[in-house]
Structures are given as structure tokens and as C-alpha cells.
Amino acid sequence: MDNKKRTIIQAVAAVLQNGHIAGFFTGRIYGGGAKHFCVPGLNCYSCPGALGACPVGSLQSAVSAWKFRFPYYVLGVMVFFGVTLGRLVCGFLCPFGFLQDLLFKVPAPKKLRTFRGDMYLRYLKYAVLLLMVLVLPFVYKTTPFFCKYLCPSGTVAGMLLTAADERLRGLLGWIFTWKAAVLTAVVLASAVIFRPFCRYLCPLGAFYALFNGVSAVRLKVDSGKCTGCGACASACGMAVDPVKSPNHAECIRCGQCVSRCPHGAISFSHCLSRSSPEGREKA
Amino acid sequence: MTDRRRMILTAALLFTAILLIAAGVAEGQYHQVLAKATRICLECIGIG
Ligand code: SF4
Ligand code: SF4
């Protein structure tokens, strides 16, 4: 899969999930039946273009409801995306991931692939999932902590809505200032580090990461063809070595390694194919 | 993990996902998803 094809798929996915064009001009969000369904990626449902529901927002809203009912539906949809696609959602379908990919193309004095502590910092997103999406909203009812204090997709939605609606603009206060600062930090970091929000903060990426090892869509390395040249690992924006760990939790299935391998040793595969002649995958 | 174990785990999780969705649909939880998603979420957009 070359990068150009992936960019086209990402653009189409972003447009399909945000096709309510009138909303960008009127400042009114879409209110039709498609919002019964959750989209796979992080896409705020208050974005004026959004046609579906954001899974993280829906999960928090269910968890923080006064009268708690186990969120079967939203969780089921998220597990379904996780077990079928895993983080392929991040590589191909998530609009906020796409935005970061575009920002990474902006020239910067230095591009960082990884740095000391990078791999440890990545655990932060699991804490965000546990605390800001599940525990705090459950304990302090009616406050969706992740949406309110962190989610940059919501901030983009807020900017678009307030640009079109003067009344909403008049209501902006310190929370918006804080969220705009978070968004600015993510935007600036995205020009230097590949997908900083996905690496360190996204609770949806953390959720899908839990399924990458068992998801139906997978990567496969043909050890008979691999010469160990390392071209794949040095091409990986997420600093994963696919030869060592083809289904690593941090792999967003972007396919960069697949196209960079000079020997065609890495390919996309599915859960029913054998990962090696011994029928056992590397950890 | 062996391929066989992994396949069993994938199938079991897929089955679980379908069961969860079915339970949610039976409870009409998709209505709450719609209700939340069709009103501007003030927290999300930074108004609080
Ligand atoms: S980690 Fe989150 S923001 Fe990044 S691509 Fe995945 S779902 Fe989207
Ligand atoms: S291992 Fe390959 S598919 Fe996964 S993120 Fe890295 S380059 Fe992309």
C-alpha cells in the first residue's frame, strides 16, 4: 500500500464521516438517524459536518449518565471495530489521525522518530482511557472528562461551530482557552513527531491497541524473504520494528513498512492465515 | 501465542462484540447515542 493511496482513503473516510456540509455554514449540527451509529475513529459528534456519533463521546456519556446502565451497545461497537480492524482504524479511517499525518508533512527543522522515554510515555493513553473516559465520568456524574478537558477533535468542532454561530462565540470561556492550548500543542508537536496525540493521549487508540494482537486484519512477515536489512523499521513512523513484532500495539497498520521492504517480505494478512510455517507468531 | 489460540480468541471476541451490540439494541441504547449526538455537546466544544 503506497502512501498516496492511503492518503486518498483517509481523505475519503474523513469526508464521508463529515459530509453534512450545510453545518459548516449554518453552525447547526446534523440531527438525522445516521447518528444512531458510532463511527470507527475519533470524530466529535458536535462537529458541524459529523454524520455519525463519536465512540469515545458516546461511551463517556453512557458511563456518566445519572442512572447507570452498562453501555452494551457502544462497547460492543468498539470491540467489533477493535477485533476486526484493530488500529487499522487509526491508519486509514480516523479523521484526527489523518489531520496529524498532514501536519507531519509540514517542514520542520527536525523530525523526531523516537526519543528517550517515548515508549514509556505511550502508556499515558491507557491512563487517559481508564481515568478520563471511564472512572472519573462514572464517579463524578455528567462530566465527560476527556471531552471537556482534553479532546482536540472537540476543540476543532468548537472552532468551526463558533465561527458560524455568534451566540456560541459569546459563551466561550477558560475551558475553551485551555482546550485551544491543548490543540495548539498537539498541532505544533505533530509537525515534529509523527502522531503525538495517537502515541500519547488518544483513549480510542489505546482501546484499539488492546486488540491489535488478535484483530482480523494483521501484518505478516515472511521470514524466508526477510534479510534483516531493517528498512521497514526505519520507515515506521510509530517506531515499531515489524519484523520483531508485526502486530505490536503501537502499529497503526499504515503499510509504510509493507511498501518500503525491498524484498516484499511484509504483507497485510488476515486472522485465518498462518503467521509462520510453525503456526506461531513472534510476541 | 499459537495461530490456533489466536484464532479462537478472535472468534470469541467477535462473538462477544455481536452479543454486546445485540443486548444494547434490545435495550434501545442506540436511542441514547442518537440523543447525545444530535445535541451540541457544550463540554466537547469547550464551553462546558
Ligand atoms: S489513536 Fe485516536 S486520534 Fe489517533 S488515529 Fe487512532 S483513534 Fe484517531
Ligand atoms: S509497523 Fe508498518 S504498518 Fe505498523 S505503523 Fe509501522 S510502518 Fe505502519
Cα atoms found within 13 Å of the Cα of residue A109, Cβ hemisphere only: 0
Whose atoms come closest to the Cα of A260: which ligand? 2
Set of chain B residues whose Cβ sits within 8 Å of the Cβ of A61: 32, 36
Q: Which residues line ligand 1 (CB under 6 A)?
A: A 41-42, 90, 94, 96-97, 197-198, 202, 204-205
* Rounded Cα–Cα distance for residues A164 and A117 (Å): 42
DSSP collapsed to 3 states, chain B: CEHHHHHHHHHHHHHHHHHHHHHHHHCCHHHHHHHHHCCCCCCCCCCC
Q: How does pLDDT run across B6-39, given as a tens digit for each residue?
A: 999 999 999 999 999 999 999 999 999 999 999 9
Please state whether the predicted TM-score (pTM) of the whole model is above 0.90.
yes
Among protein residues, the one whose CA lies closest to atom 5 of ligand 1: A90
Fold of the CATH domain A216-283: Alpha-Beta Plaits (3.30.70)
Question: With 80 as the cut, is the pLDDT of residue A283 above it?
Answer: no
DSSP A37: S
Q: What pLDDT is recorded for position A275?
A: 72
Expressed in angstroms and rounded, the spacing between residue A227 Cα and the centre of ligand 1 is 32
A79 touches chain B (CB under 8 A): yes
Q: What pLDDT is recorded for position A281?
A: 67
The more confident residue out of B47 and A90 is A90
Domain with CATH 3.30.70.20 in chain A: 216-283
B8 touches chain A (CB under 8 A): no
Q: How does pLDDT run across A17-56, given as a tens digit for each residue?
A: 999 999 999 999 999 999 999 999 999 999 999 999 999 9
Set of chain A residues whose Cβ sits within 8 Å of the Cβ of B4: 279
Q: Fill in the amino acid letter for B7.
A: M
Q: How does pLDDT run across A124-167, given as a tens digit for each residue?
A: 999 999 999 999 999 998 789 999 999 999 999 999 999 998 88
Among protein residues, the one whose CA lies closest to atom 6 of ligand 1: A90
Q: Fill in the amino acid letter for A127.
A: A
Give which of A18, A36, A178 to mutate to test B binding, by max B Cβ within 10 Å. Answer: A36
The answer to whether B7 contacts A58, with C-beta atoms less than 8 Å apart, is no
* Rounded Cα–Cα distance for residues A81 and A16 (Å): 17
- The average pLDDT across A190-201 equals 98
